[in-house]
Every structure is written in structure tokens, then in C-alpha cells.
A = this chain, B = another copy of it.
């Protein structure tokens, strides 16, 4: 399974040892030595080598003893099997495309980087499995938001990292479709959208493109030498070129349940504050969101009476839902 090829090499053995230590927590020394095809003495030396490399290998003596890879100063290369790799690719993809704005929005960037690493070295058969599952596993409300195509996002990320020219099918804001050849420079996440900062070869100028408006992206082969950015920082450039930040709503409401009960029902989804002691059995909900749908949903999940709903836009929203639901729940046939 993980046997790869047996090379008698010392360094290859060290790599194999690292993999083995990650696959199982405890390994009796003799078994390890047998697996690696060396004597126990040499195994000890290999372990010592790993330790010198900075990977702390704990060992316990006595019967049932053995070696175990512990947490160290830096992360060792992860040896994952096929299933784990697929799960990882899907999870990272979800994190890169779906993650919430304020929370792990910052984590989306590293997630995307990690994803490019994984995908680049992933065997084709695994990539096919990921592609197949991707279709099924959109699974999540964000898909509804017309988020970026994960495949496109991934291609763009790789091209940025590798400084490779791209050909894009792009739909501009006014709906016109254009073909663009660009030198991609950076992917920036702003709000809950991804933007590609690129040098447009057709127009000879910098452009900020929305990834979710990019239908297809393919690598054109040629690599390029990065130009100097028209600003101190990719983020700054993109921010400058985006007109307005998407409107945020600061939601506030009073829930007619005790605070801890509300927290239990809503999880970490909204901030729940205690009200003053006189108002026992009630609490205040606060959340900051771009989508009133989410706010309405949160109120619904609270399963209790609600009052003092705060942006008036949300009240309008609730009224609209209410009317629609009333209609839907009464009419039982088309």
C-alpha cells in the first residue's frame, strides 16, 4: 500500500520511517526495523537522525514500548493515504470558497495555498475522485451565493504561484463576455469574494477581476516575469479598485429565552449578551452579516419570541418571509 518502491537508500529509509511513524502512533522497535529491512541498531540510528532533524520521536522502554512521533518545533511533512488526501482536498476547498468573512476569511488564503500544494502532487486518480465528489458536496448555503468555481479558483491560485499566463472567459459587470489573456499576480479575498489581480495583456494595464465572474481559466503555457505592482501591496491595489465594500448589517434583537439557552441553540453563530438582571429569561442577540437571510435564519433557529429587531431592513425582511410562509403553508396544492 504505502510501499512505494524499495530503495536501499538511507535517505529514502528516513522518509519511509517518517511515514510509518505518522500512520500509526506506536511502533515497537523490532517491527519497525523489520519493515525498513534494517537491523534494530540501524533503526535506532535512523530515529536519532530524525531527532537531529528536529522531529521529536518519543520512545518508551519496557514491554509494549516503542516509538512515537510527538509534536515538535515544526510540522513534519505529512504522509497521507489516498482517502485522507481526498478528504483533505475537499475540506480545504470548502474552507477556501465557503468560509465566512470575518472568521476564517483570513484562513481562506492559506487554505488555498495548501490546496494548490496538494493538488499539484495529487495522483490523477485521486484528483478524479475529488472532482467527482466536488459536484455532490457543494452542500452548503454558500453555493447558492454563486461562489467561485473551486476549479477555477484553484487554477488561478496555481497560475499566480507559478507565474503562468492565463486565458480567461470573463463576464463583466454589464454581462458582456470577454476572452482575456492575463498575467495573474495575486488572489485576494475581500469581504466574502475572491479577486484576481492581474495584468491584462490585451489592454496592457492592471485589472482586478472577480473570480466568481470567471467561467473558465486555462494555463497558456508561458511563464512570465512579475511586473511591479502599481501599489505597495496586492491587497491595497485591489481594495483601491473595488468601489464600495458590500453593505454590512449590524443586527440586534432581544430573544425571549435565557442567554445560555440561546447560546446552546445558536452555537457560535451570533453573539449573545446578557441583559440586566431585571430582564431574566431574555437576552440580546448581536451579529454582523452581509446577508439578512442569515440574520432571519438565526432568529428562526432561536425558536422563541423576538422583539426589538434592529435594522429596520431586517424587520422588512422578516415581514416578507412571514407573508411568503403564510401563503406557502396555507396553500397545499399548486
Contacts of A49 in B (CB 8 A): 7, 9, 11-12
B143 touches A5 (CB 8 A): no
Minimum Cβ distance to chain B for residue A273 (Å): 13
Number of A interface residues in the complex (CB < 8 A)? 127
Given A117-B80, A123-B71, are A297 and B299 neighbors across the interface (CB < 8 Å)?
no
Interface residues of A in 39-68 (CB under 8 A from B): 49, 52-55, 64
Contacts of A14 in B (CB 8 A): 11-12, 14-15
Given A53-B12, A75-B121, A266-B144, are A293 and B301 neighbors across the interface (CB < 8 Å)?
yes
A234 within 8 A of B: no
Interface string of A91-107 (1 = CB under 8 A from B): 11011000110011001
B75 touches A7 (CB 8 A): no
A143 touches B90 (CB 8 A): no
Partner of A305, one of B100, B118, B324: B324
Q: Which residues of A contact B (CB under 8 A)?
A: 2, 4-5, 7, 9-15, 18-19, 22-26, 49, 52-55, 64, 69-88, 90-92, 94-95, 99-100, 103-104, 107-111, 113-114, 117-118, 120-124, 126-127, 133, 135-147, 158, 161-162, 223, 253-254, 264-269, 279, 282, 293, 296-297, 299-301, 305-309, 312, 315-316, 318-319, 321-334
In the docked arrangement, what's the CA distance between A12 and B24, Å?
Answer: 22
B117 touches A78 (CB 8 A): yes
Closest B-chain residue to A95, C-beta based?
B91
Given A15-B14, A107-B87, are A307 and B331 neighbors across the interface (CB < 8 Å)?
yes
In the docked arrangement, what's the CA distance between A307 and B76, Å?
Answer: 56
Closest B-chain residue to A317, C-beta based?
B329
Closest B-chain residue to A76, C-beta based?
B121
Q: What are 20 A-B contacts with C-beta separation under 8 Å?
A: A4-B74, A7-B49, A12-B52, A18-B77, A24-B161, A24-B162, A76-B121, A79-B117, A87-B111, A100-B140, A107-B137, A135-B268, A297-B300, A305-B324, A306-B327, A307-B327, A315-B332, A318-B325, A319-B325, A321-B322
Partner of A308, one of B83, B136, B305, B333: B333
